[in-house]
Amino acid sequence: MIESLEVRNVVKRFSGVTALKNMHFKLRGGSVHCLVGENGAGKSTLIKILAGHYMPDEGEIALDGQPLRIANPRESQRLGISIIHQELLLVPELSVAENISLGRLPKAGSGLIDWKSAQQKAASSLALLNAAIDPKSKVAELSTGEQQLVEIARSLSVDTKILILDEPTASLSESETSRLLSIIKDLKKRGLAILYVSHRMEEVFDLADDITVIRDGAVVQSASKEEMDPDKVVRLMVGRDVSLERKNKGVHGRKVLEVRGLGRSGALRNVNFHLHEGEIVGFAGLVGSGRTEIARCLFGVDRIDEGEIILQNETVRIRDPLDAIRKGIGLVPEDRKNQGLVLQGSVKNNATLSVLGRLQRFGWIKGGQETDLVQSYKEQLRIKTPSIDTPVSSLSGGNQQ
Amino acid sequence: MQRVHEQEAGAGSARAGQKSGTSKISQKSLGRYMGSLGLFLVILVFGIVLSILSPVFLSTTNIVNLLIQSTILAALAIGSTFVIMTGGIDQSVGSVLAVSSAVGLGLIEHHGMPVIVGVLVSLIIGIAFGIFNGFIITRFQVPALIVTLASMGIGRGIILIYTNGANISPVPDSYVYLANGRILGIPVILLLVGLLAVIAHIILSNTVYGRSVYASGGNELAARLAGIRTKRVITMTYVLSGLMAAVAGILLSARLESAGPTAGNGIELTVIAAVVIGGTSLFGGQGNILGTLLGVLLISLVSNAVNLLGVPPAWDQLVKGVVILVAALLDVYRRKYSKAGLSK
């Protein structure tokens, strides 16, 4: 049990870019504190500071009123801070029990692993979550939601006082989400201090005792839930009035894309839609429902088994991504780190990766033209980077996107 | 409970390692040449020590000799830099060196072909091995380590069958000119390898292909989604490596005035060491030719030192191994140090 964890006027800069300008809020024991902000607002940086990956440049962290340094991840764990990241950190080929006791598997007198006690331990921490998961099952066979519960169970099996969840519902189904929310409420009652990062208003207002809205690395407002309402939070988060109900009846131009009976065995079946100039078509669905697969087929990453793609009134076959790009299709992949960026590369090299063909003569890159192009995009998209030669890895998530 | 924390912290710092890995890279492109500078300093210190221990070291003859001796390794390492930069590896270079030069020279000596035909055939054999390696690796997704190990065996086997275990000599004068000739007093072999290094550097830094190599090695999926035909790019790196191995084979047989079944035996590991000491990441995505050349120079210096200081030849391998290890450790230490300096 803790009284409070305070973040006091924390500032963090990266090679010239200020990621956190002024972070301050107070997380109380036995409460859920929601941290809300757009992508790139500084949420991940703040979490990394609490995890001991980064040291703040200014300001301090105080636990129960005592200022302290979280110099490294081990220190953070010693203080009882556990973090459930968006990407889960489990060993897929090991059992649930092994994952929960990872690195501290109990040994029997013989020196071998005491499986019985490992399984009991796993079962008891899973029971705290009312999770019906067999400790013997392999993690790879569990659903995302179940895997997340395993990770929470692991953090409960060490002496966790502060639980930080970073957008935990991003890949959960509706029923998994509501189960997770009730588990969080239960953990709160047990006295844990919970920092919940999300920008889903329903969850925030369901869970929160306190809400802190951040924008551009600074706290816009930190208050109890009673002083906030969803419209206000969204307004604070975005920095201007946004109507959630806005309907766009824009004028659509010609039909540019039509998909008929698209199918790919094991992934897609009879997908039909069309897209006009000036139109945005949204695909809604759970993880695994085939949203990504449609995009991959349109972009030539995966082969289609049936159906046709009609581009500008012409049936086309898209052989590979280069073919798609030549036909005028662009893809912003869902996972920028694994699919979008060459992290070692500079902003410039990444920005032009897909258009190098247009910036060359006889294979030779026209450096000046490349720089001008990237510079203009940097300004248009307001990418915050000290220079276009900065490695893309040192940019914040939002700016990387 | 103590162990718990240790272990969990272990996992944490692995993540931290990854994290700082990226910031190390940011450091890297900030001072891509600072990395080479560190290696340059190691070489400088080594050279100073050597010049104190042996007055002969700084003589023009010795320096030229040293450079000439490093040309074979340099040619191989330039080719391998491309391969390693995509996260691959080419272990077949020693075999390709031997097989390409022996067959080329065999055509000249035993079948009366013109020298130029022999040389072209050597180069074509190098390219063919590269295409074979690259095709199997990218088409069937077999690990490069295994594929090139196999072609290393195949190459060595072909040459043993072809030469029946005997050396091929003599070598025509025009062929020897490559090794012994001089233009304006500068050995042709140095000019040639120097020119190849400059071309390789330009390809990597200024062309679409070079950029595609960095991208395919840094993140193959992202490169593919950006419309880069990564399989072609990667296959091409093996072709370049095979081609450079053939060049090295021609130069070596010109120097030795013979081609033999054991030529280049085991040199692939020295090549990989030189490239990695030179700052090319085994995981792909980073590296440069200047660093590779410095790595080659350091390894050649060691051999030179062993010669000059009268160390018994039996010690050569041992000394080389230790120096490679020390250089690699110093390099890791230096990167870590500069990284720590950055994060503060």
Interface contact A104-B219, CB threshold 8 A: no
pLDDT at B16 over 60: no
H helices, E strands: number in chain B: 14, 2
Residues of A in contact with B7 (CB under 8 A): 102-104
Q: Which of A157-161, B1-5, B12-16, B133-137 has the highest mean pLDDT?
A: B133-137
Interface contact A339-B7, CB threshold 8 A: no
A166, A334, A342: which to substitute to probe chain B, counting the most B Cβ within 10 Å? A342
Closest in A77, A325, A367 to B5, CB measured: A77
B211 to chain A, any CB pair closer than 8 A? The answer is yes
Where do the domains of chain A lie? 4-238, 251-331, 336-401
B31 to chain A, any CB pair closer than 8 A? The answer is no
Interface contact A349-B224, CB threshold 8 A: no
Chain segment B85-143, per-residue pLDDT in tens: 999 999 999 999 999 999 999 999 999 899 999 999 999 999 999 999 999 999 999 99
How far away is chain B from the Cα of A154, in angstroms, using its nearest Cα?
11
How far away is chain A from the Cα of B1, in angstroms, using its nearest Cα?
8
Residues of B in contact with A324 (CB under 8 A): 227
Which chain B residue is nearest to residue A158, measuring alpha carbons? B4
For B161-176, what is the mean pLDDT?
Answer: 89
Residues of A in contact with B26 (CB under 8 A): 15, 390-391, 393-394
Interface contact B223-A342, CB threshold 8 A: yes
* Single-letter code of the amino acid located at B210: G
Residue A398 token pair: 């939002």
In whole angstroms, give the CA distance from residue B201 to residue B291.
Answer: 11
Residue carrying structure tokens 């400059």:
B198
Residues of B in contact with A322 (CB under 8 A): 227-229
Q: Classify residue B110 as exposed, middle or buried by CB count within 10 Å of its CB (0-12, 13-18, 19+).
A: exposed
Closest C-alpha among B11, A225, A203, A156 to residue A213: A225
How far away is chain A from the Cα of B85, in angstroms, using its nearest Cα?
12
B18 to chain A, any CB pair closer than 8 A? The answer is no
The pLDDT of residue B30 is: 41
* DSSP calls for B294-344: HHHHHHHHHHHHHHHTT--GGGHHHHHHHHHHHHHHHHHHHHHHHHHHHH-
Beta bridge partners of A196: A34, A165
Beta bridge partners of A10: A23
Residues of A in contact with B13 (CB under 8 A): 72-74
Phi, psi for residue B172 in degrees, rounded to 5: -60, 155
pLDDT at B330 over 80: no
The pLDDT of residue B334 is: 61
For B186-208, what is the mean pLDDT?
Answer: 95
Residues of B in contact with A393 (CB under 8 A): 22-23, 25-26
The pLDDT of residue A249 is: 60
Q: Which of A231-235, B9-13, B236-240 has the highest mean pLDDT?
A: B236-240
SS3 A347: helix
pLDDT mean across residues, chain B: 85
Interface contact B11-A103, CB threshold 8 A: yes
How far away is chain A from the Cα of B198, in angstroms, using its nearest Cα?
15
Closest C-alpha among A154, A172, A60, A147 to residue A100: A154
Beta bridge partners of A310: A258, A315
Closest C-alpha among B99, B147, B156, B148 to residue B122: B99
Angle at A261 between CA A299 and CA A291, to 5 degrees: 45
Residues of B in contact with A401 (CB under 8 A): none
pLDDT at B14 over 50: no
Where do the domains of chain B lie? 34-51+66-343
pLDDT at B8 over 50: no
What percentage of chain B exceeds 90 in pLDDT? 56
CB B25 within 8 A of CB B342: no
Question: What sign does the dihedral A40-A45-A46-A51 (CA atoms) show?
Answer: positive
Q: What is the DSSP letter of A252?
A: P
| DSSP element (H, E) containing A315 | strand A314-316
In whole angstroms, give the CA distance from residue B270 to residue B291.
Answer: 15
B3 to chain A, any CB pair closer than 8 A? The answer is yes
Closest in B10, B218, B221 to A345, CB measured: B218
CB B182 within 8 A of CB A305: no
Query: Which CATH number among 3.40.50.300, 3.20.20.80, 3.40.50.11390, 3.40.640.10 corresponds to the domain A4-238?
Result: 3.40.50.300
Interface contact A342-B222, CB threshold 8 A: yes
In whole angstroms, give the CA distance from residue A65 to residue A27.
Answer: 11
Interface contact A394-B208, CB threshold 8 A: no
What's A251-331's CATH class?
alpha beta
Q: Which residue has the higher pLDDT, A343 or B27?
A: A343
Query: Which CATH number among 1.10.3910, 1.20.930, 1.10.3470, 1.20.950 corresponds to the domain B34-51+66-343?
Result: 1.10.3470
Beta bridge partners of A240: none
pLDDT at B32 over 80: no
pLDDT at B20 over 50: no
Confidence of residue B26 (pLDDT cuts 50, 70, 90): very low
Interface contact A103-B206, CB threshold 8 A: no
Confidence of residue B36 (pLDDT cuts 50, 70, 90): low
In whole angstroms, give the CA distance from residue B150 to residue B135.
Answer: 14
- What is the distance in angstroms between the CA of the first residue and the CA of the last residue of chain A? 38
Question: What's the Cα-to-Cα distance from A327 to each of A276, A291, A310, A321, A339, rounded to whole Å?
Answer: 16, 21, 11, 10, 20
* Single-letter code of the amino acid located at A230: P
Q: Which residue has the higher pLDDT, B15 or A99?
A: A99
Residues of B in contact with A19 (CB under 8 A): none
CB A83 within 8 A of CB A166: yes
pLDDT string in tens for chain A (401-residue length): 788 999 999 999 887 778 898 899 999 999 999 999 887 788 888 999 999 989 999 999 999 999 988 988 888 988 999 998 877 788 988 999 999 988 778 888 888 888 888 899 899 889 888 888 999 999 988 888 889 889 888 888 888 899 999 988 877 778 888 888 999 999 999 899 999 998 888 899 999 999 999 988 899 999 999 999 888 888 888 887 665 555 556 667 888 999 999 999 888 899 999 999 888 888 887 767 888 889 999 999 998 999 999 999 999 999 999 999 999 999 998 888 888 999 888 999 999 998 888 899 888 999 899 999 999 999 999 888 888 998 888 887 788 88
Interface contact B214-A342, CB threshold 8 A: yes
Closest in B12, B208, B215 to A365, CB measured: B208
Residue B3 token pair: 């162990």
From the CB of residue B195, how many other CB atoms can be counted at a distance below 10 Å? Answer: 10
**Rg of the Cα trace of chain A?**
24
Residue B4 token pair: 């718990």
The string over B263-279, giving b where at least 16 C-beta atoms fall within 10 Å of a residue's C-beta and e elsewhere, is bbeebbebbbbbbbbbb
